[in-house]
Amino acid sequence: MEITFVGAAREVTGSCHLLHVNGKTVALDCGMFQGRRSESAEKNKALPVPIAELDAVVLSHAHIDHSGRLPFLVAQGYSRTIWATAATRDLSAVMLADSAHIQEKDAEFLARKKKLFVEPLYGMRHATRTMELMVGVPYNKPFDIVPGVQGTYVDAGHILGSASVILDCTEGSVTRRLIFSGDVGRSGLSIIRDPVPPTGADAVIVESTYGNRDHESVDGARARLAEVIRATAARGGRVLIPAFAVGRTQELIYSLHSLVKEGVIPSIPIYVDSPLAIDATTVFQMHPETFDQSEDLVRRVKELFDFPLVRFTRDVEESKAISMAKGPMVIIAASGMVEAGRILHHLAQGASDPRNTILIVGFQAEHTLGRRIVEKTPMLKVFGEEVPLRAQVEVINGYSAHADRNELTAWLDAVKAESPRLGPVWLVHGEPEVQDTYRTTLVAKGYSVSCPEPYARVSF
């Protein structure tokens, strides 16, 4: 039994690992690489394995860095099953359609620039076909992936529908249990449930995004959010929040709702300027069974994302009208790493105004515009134009949907405590320096850890 680490190996994006058992190959995720444009474009075009050799795909959750290349597999001829949880399936339907739209627009833009035909990575029909292949299964219920590999999803507590995957692999008389963590969430996020560490593992593939840092608490994040909004509104500025349309945006709306209820932020309009976030919010409303029922507002699901100050803008004209409007306001728009989406035109308008605040609430990968904002690069490039960065930049990492160092270690410790045969632990989904630091921490605790390079092949 072997694993080939294809993507999210020594980096955060492009999650994809191949499991080889009994002569069959199963892909765990097939996500998009993000970051430096030309570099990631090349990586995104490389098939992880010849299509004829790929027998099944198991998806951990709907984020594009895990799911975004599924329609590319389909465009290249893949026509077998893609497994997912039921909520991941519904979220993927809106996210992959959005991604296809972005791919088509990108290709059009490049074609205009280069004055020659550019084939998009995939189109809408491939996203639609992908959804036909995707089978939704419940948590905690085993499903047969290929002969000799049985899967079971458990809650990863990261975004709606997110899962860690238990893979029971049998070759001849040998059975091994491989755990793929997916993205591990946090305890205490308001809408979704806490992560459930799997047990009985022989080997673990675990993410390590924040293996070198601790987050502030979710309550601390909420208090800082209120502070940033009050200060910005007092200057007459706007708070621009680039956020993942799925997960982060709903957590933010939830926090803002409770802050408005408590009367601790001024009554200024809150725009959720993202059709994708609107669709994703609808999917959230379809899956109350995955919510954390211990939360006060969650018990009243109907009003969870809906209160007098919040406005959801779907069409482009409305979105443009917001950038022209005067006065303080909060604008939440995708994309989370500021690589695409409507947040770009809000930044083109607003980044140079010192009254405004750009509030970063999520992980920003290397070489993304979001990362350059965090690093306070004086001149930003938006739509090919130079825009001076004069707005305040604030970072709140308490909204992260990823476990921090302590939470990750607690997750692993819980796995280990119930896994007497635990062998190798492979770190994925992390930047090299972070992984190296975290590896040292884990080795000191007695784990056998390595950080595989892209295309490294290991047996277990």
**Using CB under 5 A as the criterion, which residues of the chain lie in contact with Zn ion when the complex forms?**
63, 65, 183
**Cβ nearer to Zn ion, comparing 11 with 65:** 65
Helix (H) or strand (E) holding 330: strand 329-333
**Cβ nearer to Zn ion, comparing 158 with 257:** 158
Closest distance to Zn ion from the beta carbon of 277 (Å): 16
Closest distance to Zn ion from the beta carbon of 279 (Å): 18
Closest distance to Zn ion from the beta carbon of 139 (Å): 17
Question: Which pairing describes strands 149-155 and 143-146: parallel, antiparallel, or unpaired?
Answer: antiparallel
**Cβ nearer to Zn ion, comparing 63 with 177:** 63
**Cβ nearer to Zn ion, comparing 137 with 184:** 184
Q: First CA to last CA across the chain, in angstroms? A: 6
**Cβ nearer to Zn ion, comparing 90 with 183:** 183
Residue with tokens 């339907």: 93
Closest distance to Zn ion from the beta carbon of 383 (Å): 27
The span from the CA of 423 to the CA of 411, in Å, is 16
Closest distance to Zn ion from the beta carbon of 185 (Å): 9
Contact predicate 358/373, CB 8 Å: yes
Helices 343-350/316-324 angle, 10° precision: 20
Phi, psi angles (nearest 5°) of residue 369: -65, -35
**Cβ nearer to Zn ion, comparing 24 with 371:** 371
The three-point CA angle 163-164-165 to 5° equals 110
Phi, psi angles (nearest 5°) of residue 302: -55, -40
**Cβ nearer to Zn ion, comparing 10 with 257:** 10
Closest distance to Zn ion from the beta carbon of 433 (Å): 18
Helix (H) or strand (E) holding 155: strand 149-155
- Choose among 331, 352, 354: nearest CA to 343: 331
Residue with tokens 């940033």: 228
Two tokens, residue 396: 């709140």
**Cβ nearer to Zn ion, comparing 55 with 183:** 183
Two tokens, residue 449: 């850890």
Closest distance to Zn ion from the beta carbon of 34 (Å): 10
Closest distance to Zn ion from the beta carbon of 258 (Å): 24
- Cβ-based neighbour number of residue 252 at 10 Å: 25
Closest distance to Zn ion from the beta carbon of 199 (Å): 23
Closest distance to Zn ion from the beta carbon of 60 (Å): 8
Contact predicate 427/211, CB 8 Å: yes
**Cβ nearer to Zn ion, comparing 183 with 251:** 183
- Choose among 391, 394, 316: nearest CA to 348: 391
**Cβ nearer to Zn ion, comparing 159 with 270:** 159
The span from the CA of 430 to the CA of 444, in Å, is 19
- How is 271-312 classified by DSSP, letter by letter? EE--HHHHHHHHHHHH-GGGB-TTSTGGGGGGGTT--TTEEE
Contact predicate 12/429, CB 8 Å: yes
